[in-house]
A and B are shown apart, each in its own frame.
Chain A
Amino acid sequence: MGLVLALLTFAALAAIPLFPDLVGGPATITLFARMILYAIAAVSLNLILGYGGLVSFGHAAYLGLGGYTVGILYAHFISGSPFLGLIPGTNQLLVTVPAAMLVSGLFALAIGALSLRTTGVQFIMITLAFAQMVFFLFVSLKVYGGDDGLIVRRPNVLFDLNLRDTTTMYYIGLVALAAYVWLVARIVRSRFGRVLTGLRQNERRMAAIGISTYRYKLVAFVIAGMGAGLAGALMANLQRFVSPDMLAWTKSGELMIMVILGGAGSLIGPIWGAIALVGMETALAGWTEHWQFWLGPILICIVLFARGGLYGFVASLLKRDGR
């Protein structure tokens, strides 16, 4: 059933740009592209939050670092001066995206190495604190726009594709999402994934069968950070703009809401969560200025009445009738 729902989800997402009028005109494609990119970040957070039980409250840091990698490489590409006098700038998507994932992964390695020595509330607070450090670092970096952020005037180059075209960006995002979801699906079923899900359920048991848990958590933390870096790099290309907003703690909170709303620990629940949250934000914002006032109660209702999030809700419906 999980596979069927996943295939249906991807089929529907692939079909969306084919019927622009149905979803409200070509401008809406940009909105859907944003949903797709947030979905990548949510799926990556779900690997550690949903499967591993590691409540990281600083996931936006890796999203923003991915975005800034693209922005900074572009700035140096335009100015012609290498970054730190060493690394030349570039606007090649096939270089900037892996670079963004590398940067996010390295930060996740450093932050994870320190924060994973704690558990519970301490872990939540320390991941938040590190993310805030990254946030203030970029706020104070006037060279790269500081508070105002960094404009990426032209999107990166990928073969002869026109990345200004939102439909093209949408499909690039969708392919990236599919690839990352496939990776996560393999990981959670693997030997590594068995340990990861075991950690969430009972860490004491894991120690008692001879598993040193720290390294497993750290590797998962890095894989998740790289996924968020991927999302951030593509987002910088879609919006052609990066700013400290991408790194803010509220963004970390939104990513957590997407995961929990969609269904933590399910493969595609976080995708639904990202679509639902971005969709609701947009719909309510178009209707009233005080959209956050209305979003709160809706989220509370969903979390209260749909155990296991949207995915858990649908799965239980399907189980009830039919089989």
Chain B
Amino acid sequence: MTGPMLRLEGLVKRFGGLVATDALTLDVVPGELHALIGPNGAGKTTVIGQIAGELRQDEGRILFEGAEITRLSTPQRVRRGLARSFQITQLLEDDTALDNVALAVQAGQGHGFRFFRDARRDPRLAGPAMEHLAAVGMAGRAQVRVADLSHGEHKQLELAIALATGPRFLLLDEPMAGLGASESKAMTEILRGLKGRITMLLVEHDMEAVFALADRISVLVYGRCIASGPPAEIRENAEVRAAYLAEEEV
């Protein structure tokens, strides 16, 4: 495929007087892992929300695989292969890890207007769901209730659910946030395994992970993209260092 997989064109989002996204233009090409970094309050999660369709932008367009998706709802975007994970995990707390993933598998298989067969005993749901759990290293925790899982496991489960929707493009909102060093490494390895197969836009504060994984990095400050390029270039960029990297001491 030629051209970008995801394209943001002049995206603007205002909250009252605050401009959270300021004429943002960004391309993500097929197969790359594109990282979006920036200091706290730079508007990274707001951008993810607009791409996912949870927030409506005030100006600008979003194109996915060449087609405008600006007016599509979140479920419509997901069905086109554009999935997200949440920074603050959004899980079904009363259900097991397997239930959570199986529901996403079910959603991907089409409509859920089937009223009689026991969904938990349906191998067409449990089978793929177990594979996705195994892919994030949680096969042994399938039957544990979400409320009883650790924070790190919640993060892994978030990713498994996003994968279960069968995405071609993944929006990852701080998948490492709150993880310990070893958990962070494990997550980095999982994402490395997905690279190439799934195009990703990664928002992350863990600079070690970002520079280990990203093909390209865009830096967001006050809703504006101040730099975009390969990791080596971003590391040397004076403006970026001034705005951001210096305070993180990379």
Residue ranges of A at the interface with B (Cβ–Cβ < 8 Å):
186-187, 189-195, 197-198, 201-202, 204-205, 207-212, 215-216, 219
Give 15 A-B pairs besides A190-B115, A191-B125, A209-B107 with Cβ atoms closer than 8 angstroms.
Answer: A187-B116, A189-B120, A192-B115, A193-B115, A193-B119, A194-B103, A195-B112, A197-B94, A208-B52, A209-B78, A209-B108, A210-B83, A210-B108, A211-B112, A212-B73
Choice from A191, A210, A212 contacting B165 with Cβ under 8 Å? A210
Bound-complex Cα distance A162 to B164 (A): 57
Bound-complex Cα distance A215 to B92 (A): 20
Choice from B79, B93, B116 contacting A210 with Cβ under 8 Å? B79
Bound-complex Cα distance A207 to B72 (A): 12
Chain A to chain B contacts (Cβ below 8 Å), 5 pairs: A189-B119, A190-B114, A202-B92, A208-B162, A211-B112
How many A-B pairs fall under 8 Å by CB? Answer: 96
Which of A187, A194, A195, A207 has the most C-beta atoms of chain B within 10 angstroms of its own C-beta? A194
Inter-subunit contact B115/A208 (CB<8 Å)? no
Tell me the interface secondary structure of chain A in the complex: helix
CB distance from A179 to the nearest CB of B (A): 14
Bound-complex Cα distance A207 to B162 (A): 12
CB distance from A109 to the nearest CB of B (A): 15
Interface string of B139-161 (1 = CB under 8 A from A): 00000000000000000000001
Q: How many residues of B contact A (CB 8 A)?
A: 39
Whether, in the assembled complex, B84 has its beta carbon less than 8 Å from a beta carbon of chain A, the answer is yes
Ranked 8 nearest A-B pairs via Cβ:
A210-B78, A209-B104, A207-B74, A205-B90, A201-B92, A191-B112, A191-B114, A209-B107
A219-B108 contact given A189-B119, A193-B119, A194-B103, CB 8 Å threshold:
no
Bound-complex Cα distance A207 to B49 (A): 12
Choice from B102, B108, B118 contacting A190 with Cβ under 8 Å? B118
Inter-subunit contact B90/A202 (CB<8 Å)? yes
On chain A, the residues within 8 Å of B86 by CB distance are 208
On chain A, the residues within 8 Å of B76 by CB distance are 212
Which of A187, A202, A208, A215 has the most C-beta atoms of chain B within 10 angstroms of its own C-beta? A208
Interface string of B108-137 (1 = CB under 8 A from A): 100011111111101001000000000000
Bound-complex Cα distance A212 to B110 (A): 11
Choice from B75, B102, B112, B120 contacting A207 with Cβ under 8 Å? B75
On chain B, the residues within 8 Å of A190 by CB distance are 114-119
CB distance from A233 to the nearest CB of B (A): 22
Bound-complex Cα distance A192 to B119 (A): 9
Inter-subunit contact A210/B75 (CB<8 Å)? yes
Bound-complex Cα distance A192 to B86 (A): 24
Closest to A223 in B: B115
Closest to B164 in A: A209
Whether, in the assembled complex, B239 has its beta carbon less than 8 Å from a beta carbon of chain A, the answer is no
On chain A, the residues within 8 Å of B165 by CB distance are 209-210
On chain A, the residues within 8 Å of B122 by CB distance are 191
A198-B103 contact given A208-B86, A209-B165, CB 8 Å threshold:
yes
Choice from A186, A202, A205 contacting B115 with Cβ under 8 Å? A186
Whether, in the assembled complex, B106 has its beta carbon less than 8 Å from a beta carbon of chain A, the answer is yes
Closest to B53 in A: A207
Inter-subunit contact A208/B78 (CB<8 Å)? yes
Inter-subunit contact A209/B116 (CB<8 Å)? no
On chain A, the residues within 8 Å of B90 by CB distance are 202, 204-205, 208
CB distance from A255 to the nearest CB of B (A): 23
CB distance from A191 to the nearest CB of B (A): 4
